[in-house]
A and B are shown apart, each in its own frame.
Chain A
Amino acid sequence: TAPLNVLLIIVDDLRPSLGCYGDKLVRSPNIDQLASHSLLFQNAFAQQAVCAPSRVSFLTGRRPDTTRLYDFNSYWRVHAGNFSTLPQYFKENGYVTMSVGKVFHPGISSNYSDDSPYSWSIPPYHPSSEKYENTKTCRGPDGELHANLLCPVDIADVPEGTLPDKQSTEQAIRLLEKTKTSTRPFFLAVGYHKPHIPFRYPKEFQKLYPLENITLAPDPEVPAGLPPVAYNPWMDIRQREDVQALNLSVPYGPIPVDFQRKIRQSYFASISYLDTQVGHLLSALDDLQLANSTIIVFASDHGWALGEHGEWAKYSNFDITTRVPLMFYVPGRTAPLPEAGEKLFPYIDPFSSVQELMEPGRQVTDLVELLSLSPTLAGLAGLHVPPRCPVPSFHVELCREGQNLMKHFQVEDVEGDPHLRG
């Protein structure tokens, strides 16, 4: 009967290229293991395929036309309305709310404060090594350091000898350890930066994806019938030194096929690196005996085009850029409560040759919106689900424009299984 804790994992620019979404190439054993104990939404879509608008939308539970944030340059509380946020709602319901890494998009869109103090009980944590993310830390074929798109690194070689997501995992584990002595439930949001560009990851992960195994996108040409207004000219990756050196034509490129394969290789390698960080975080949660009292949500803010339709990056309405991974682990509801000492999330090394097939968890194919994350999470935690918003709702602080997805969590035969929480 104690309130459930919440661990919200948000991954930047992650499309559902994961084993649990049917991807045969990508090694994501720890995320797949989470999925095997979760309810997985096969068709979840972001409301706008770019960071700040998507994050403000699902964290306030309002559509972009209500937050009026289509770019990066306004703070909804000043610009549109004093909308309450998901963490704020939990904080007002007695939770200790904490932010690690990239949860809100930094800068104006979260008031240069990750929307503190409204959303968070303690100052949000940002990894110190993030400041090197876009600097010249990528060793090129010439042996010099560059600010490249493709940036496999030797950890020993980079400033501070670490990477932002590693630091975020370490901080999140420290916070979990501290909650063990707290009487109040926690809401911990962990925002991972990879696979957002630059693809800066420990270079050993490249070995998981030998170039000869990397294909092009199944449809690498710009479709004949695509209206020019719909096309995203992927201007961001063109700023990177290694892409600039290709002297690509604007706006349609194309990128030489060998470099296309390298981009895809590094995106997948970044995913496996991210998977190890999620694995360390979840196994620490397990070791602290918190797996039976914590809801875990795994999602991303939008997808990413890897050459499909001749496009790269996000910035469009295609499914490839709006479809996101979305899964909820709810102890005693999506999986039986673990027995004493049983491990649900032991760390799995993506390099281990034995990649046991993971039993998939329950899946939902209905289309759902990322907007539904906040009302659904409130309901799963036993909080009152905020009411539907009137139209317009600029004057309403607490309401929701997304559906409550609780109907998908009904357990078939609660009576049949004493383990399942009623």
Chain B
Amino acid sequence: NPRESIAYSQYPRPADSPQWNSDKPSLKDIKVMGYSIRTIDYRYTVWVGFSPHEFLANFSDVHAGELYFVDSDPLQDHNMYNDSQGKDLLQHLMP
């Protein structure tokens, strides 16, 4: 079932706002990790606190979220995370 196919991606950041090393933070400077789940219907991303020493992501420490629906927003320009209780979805998706 194509609906079951999922692709995960992730990206690290040194801070919540763009800065000189946002594109390529060194491991020791990573403070946030953005984890994305993609299906044929949506892309859901949570940017959570990350410890580079324990290599641990803290899914209770959500810095920001993104939610785009493929059919209505294929270019991913309209973030629905805050509008659609994205936070609840996170609880639902929690591993």
**A residues neighboring B (CB under 8 Å):** 43-50, 63-65, 68, 70-74, 218-219, 223, 225-236, 250-252, 308-309, 313, 315-320, 322, 365-369
Contact = CB atoms under 8 A, between A and B. Distances in A.
B20 to A, nearest CB: 6
17 contacts: A43-B7, A63-B10, A65-B57, A70-B33, A71-B26, A225-B82, A226-B66, A230-B45, A231-B22, A236-B24, A315-B23, A317-B10, A317-B66, A318-B76, A365-B2, A367-B38, A367-B39
B23 A234 contact: yes
Interface in B18-44: 18-27, 30, 32-34, 36, 38-40, 43
A317 B34 contact: yes
Binding site of B, secondary structure by majority: helix, strand, loop or mixed? loop
Contact of A63 (B5, B8, B18, B25): B8
B72 to A, nearest CB: 14
A232 B23 CA distance: 6
A74 B30 CA distance: 14
Interface residues of B, number: 48
Nearest to A232: B23
A63 B65 CA distance: 21
A369 B38 CA distance: 10
A225 B78 contact: yes
Interface string B41-81: 00101010000000101000001111000000001111111
Given A48-B11, A229-B64, A368-B7, A319 B22 contact: no
Contacts of B30: 70-71
B7 to A, nearest CB: 4
A230 B66 contact: yes
A161 B34 CA distance: 43
Contacts of A226: 66, 79
Given A232-B23, A251-B22, A367-B6, A225 B11 contact: no
Contact of B17 (A45, A73, A229): A229
Binding site of A, secondary structure by majority: helix, strand, loop or mixed? loop
A71 B11 CA distance: 10
Given A229-B47, A235-B21, 15 more contacts: A43-B40, A45-B7, A48-B9, A70-B10, A71-B27, A218-B75, A219-B75, A225-B81, A229-B15, A236-B23, A316-B11, A317-B9, A317-B43, A317-B45, A367-B5
Given A230-B66, A233-B22, A235-B22, A223 B77 contact: yes
A45 B47 contact: no
A366 B2 contact: yes
Given A229-B63, A367-B38, A47 B9 contact: yes
B25 A71 contact: yes
A252 B19 CA distance: 11
Contact of A319 (B6, B26, B38): B38
Contacts of B2: 365-367
Nearest to A234: B23
A255 to B, nearest CB: 15
B27 to A, nearest CB: 5
Contacts of B36: 317, 322
B10 A223 contact: no
A74 B26 CA distance: 10
A309 B76 contact: yes
B38 to A, nearest CB: 6
A250 B77 CA distance: 21
A46 B8 CA distance: 8
A236 B79 CA distance: 26
Contacts of A313: 23
A308 B75 contact: yes
A64 B39 CA distance: 20
A230 B12 CA distance: 10
